[in-house]
Amino acid sequence: MRFTPSLAASLLLVSLPGCGQSAQESAADSLPARAERIANAEEAAVIISSAPEDIALTIYTDDLALITERRTVALPAGRSVIRFEGVSEMMVPQSAILREFTGFTLERNFDFDLISPGALFAGAEGEDVTVTRTNPFTGRVEQKQARVISGGNGVVLEIDGEIETLQCAGLPEKTAFDYVPDSLNPQPTLSIEVNAEEAGEQEIVLSYLATSFGWQADYRLDVNPDGQTGKLVGWLTVYNQTEVSVNEANTAIIAGDLQRLWETRAERGSAKPLAARCWPRGSSKTGTPVEQLGYFGEAPQKAYRRNMPMPAMAEPQMEMMMADSVVVTGARQAELEEFGDYKLYRVPEPTTVSAYQEKQVLFLDKPEIDLEKIHTFNVYSPEGPIGQILPATVEYHIDNSRDGKLGLPLPEGTLRVMTRSGEGRLFYLGEDNVRNLAVDLPAEFEIASAADVRMETRLLNREVTERPGRNAERAVTVEHSFFNASPEEATIELKVGEEFYTPITISDENLMRDLDADTPKWRFTLAPESNRLVSYTATWTN
């Protein structure tokens, strides 16, 4: 039976709905010396849990996931240390909690000092290692015992009473270590010291928050030739920017804005680089190839701290850096559930999100919805834009009323609009951001500017009336000339003062406006290759 944590139980962690994450295979079996030393620790028995048996994962939009793992461990009575290997390296350690455990939790440690060449030398200071060098001309292989004098910024060795630096002998060489320091781990490990009331196997549920997970919605709107109907498909694009794969997890996705504090972050553990520093080669004529060595001879490190902005780059580069591959699965459609103030999309089958991977899950498929194409002009001030000729903004308004053909909440993401020509050729029209839109809220999207639908504004009259002790009253009479040079009829929408600082009164208009609108608004149709005048007087206090 697969493990599916209840949402109510998960709320005990951080007052958020919950689920969980996966682990890599433990490398402990390949390090018997390290495991033996751990087992012989005098303080407390050490129990290694290499991987979870079942995982649940809930992903939020704000670079956050709640991970819940079920593990079975055999505990002795009394004190012991459980080492949870394979947890996410992007864990928020202070959020970890054990549930369904009969005993007491005494101490927790999150170790992410990972095994690397630099870390091995740093941990071997004062110890002996074996250095093997090969002469490429004679083929002679020579092994030497070396004492590590310094393993920090530049490795220094003592060989046969002489001081040498690593990889500076001019010969190919390799170094062998007798053991791995206990402080190093092949993968991030959470250690929890517990006190069990009795010996035996226990099923433990471990829950924690982790960053570098997220999702967004990606919509595709295919507009039919009639311009009034279309097909809307939505995908949840889930990403995992961590080094740990989430295998066969019960996955849920939460739509809604969370309030996050800065403390709900994690520090990324990074492998210590190996710094081999020899005398730089070069001359006063050619110089030293510092651009290849990096600062102080170190190889340039391409590491980013989480929650810090990354340098700007082209979109294809960003996609390649963020994900090794994008996996699209359309056989399963995520199911929408109401969850308080949030919307929860549950993937009906266990799914795997590998390390540094993006995966798309279908959550919306409406073969026919009602929509409207509008050419919009926003006049933000009644006195402008005088004398200017402006293009229309092309908007698509989707009917998302409760009784309409769509009638679903739209999570935040990106909407891309496509259409086909009479010959069936596909064209890309534009895109816009989607806010978290509930049912019955206006679903209006700006996708382009229309070169063949334009508006010119002329000022016919301006009056300013000064009123003692009160603000002056201003009145302008303007005339808008609309031109439709396209071979199709255009629906025009004119808005005046939508973001103006004071209310506007309209009079003497030559076209009836929408009296139900919050701000002055007109809507009318413009025949192909035609023009039309709209005039009015706008009055406001200044």
pLDDT tens figures, 210-227: 999 999 999 999 999 888
Mean pLDDT taken over the chain: 80
Identify the H or E element spanning 13. Answer: helix 7-14
- 60: number of Cβ within 10 Å: 22
Indicate whether 6 pLDDT > 70: no
8 A C-beta contact, residue 542 and residue 512:
no
What is the Cα–Cα distance from 171 to 175, expressed in whole angstroms? 13
| Cα-based torsion angle of the residue sequence 117, 210, 344, 330 in order, rounded to the nearest 10 degrees | 0
Phi-psi label, residue 170: left if phi above 0, alpha if psi -120 to 50, beta otherwise: left
What is the Cα–Cα distance from 326 to 359, expressed in whole angstroms? 5
Residues 6+ apart with CB under 8 A from 60: 16, 66, 213, 214, 215, 254, 258
Longest pairwise C-alpha distance within the chain: 105
Indicate whether 330 pLDDT > 50: no
Distance of alpha carbon 336 from its chain centroid, rounded? 21
What is the Cα–Cα distance from 5 to 17, expressed in whole angstroms? 10
Give the start-end residues of each E strand in 413-442: 413-420, 426-434
Report the DSSP pairing between strands 357-379 and 325-333. Answer: parallel
What is the Cα–Cα distance from 478 to 509, expressed in whole angstroms? 10
66-100 residue pLDDT tens: 999 999 999 999 999 998 988 888 888 888 888 88
344-399 residue pLDDT tens: 999 988 999 999 999 999 999 999 999 999 999 999 998 878 889 999 999 999 99
401-442 residue pLDDT tens: 999 999 999 999 999 999 988 788 999 999 999 999 999 999
pLDDT at 325: 43
Q: Residue with structure tokens 């690397």? A: 116
Closest CA to 465 of 535, 538, 540: 540
8 A C-beta contact, residue 382 and residue 478:
yes
pLDDT at 19: 37
Closest CA to 240 of 5, 51, 15, 22: 22
DSSP 114-136: B--HHHHHHHTTTSEEEEEEE-T
What is the Cα–Cα distance from 415 to 227, expressed in whole angstroms? 17
509-535 burial string, b = 16+ CB within 10 Å, else e? eeeebeeeeebbbbbeebeeeeeeebe
Average pLDDT over residues 236-241: 92
pLDDT at 98: 87
- 138: number of Cβ within 10 Å: 7
3-state DSSP of 19-74:
CCCCCCCCCHHHCHHHHHHHHCCCCCEEEEECCCCEEEEEEECCCEEEEEEEEEEE
* Dihedrals phi, psi of 532, to nearest 5 degrees: -155, 150
Three-state secondary structure call for residue 10 = helix
Confidence of residue 115 (pLDDT cuts 50, 70, 90): low
What is the Cα–Cα distance from 418 to 28, expressed in whole angstroms? 52
222-231 burial string, b = 16+ CB within 10 Å, else e? bbeeeeebbe
Confidence of residue 123 (pLDDT cuts 50, 70, 90): confident
Residues 6+ apart with CB under 8 A from 519: 495, 496, 497, 498, 500, 504
Phi-psi label, residue 485: left if phi above 0, alpha if psi -120 to 50, beta otherwise: alpha
Token pair listed for 89: 């390296």
Report the DSSP pairing between strands 246-255 and 141-150. Answer: unpaired
What is the Cα–Cα distance from 27 to 83, expressed in whole angstroms? 13
Confidence of residue 185 (pLDDT cuts 50, 70, 90): low
CA angle (180, 185, 188) in 5-degree steps? 175
Three-state secondary structure call for residue 180 = coil
Q: Residue with structure tokens 């596909």? A: 426
Task: HSE, CB side, 13 Å, CA atoms: give it for residue 44.
Answer: 20
Amino acid at 258: L
Amino acid at 542: N
272-327 residue pLDDT tens: 667 666 655 444 444 444 444 333 333 333 333 333 333 333 343 333 333 334 45
461-520 residue pLDDT tens: 999 998 887 889 999 999 999 999 999 999 999 999 988 989 999 999 999 999 988 899
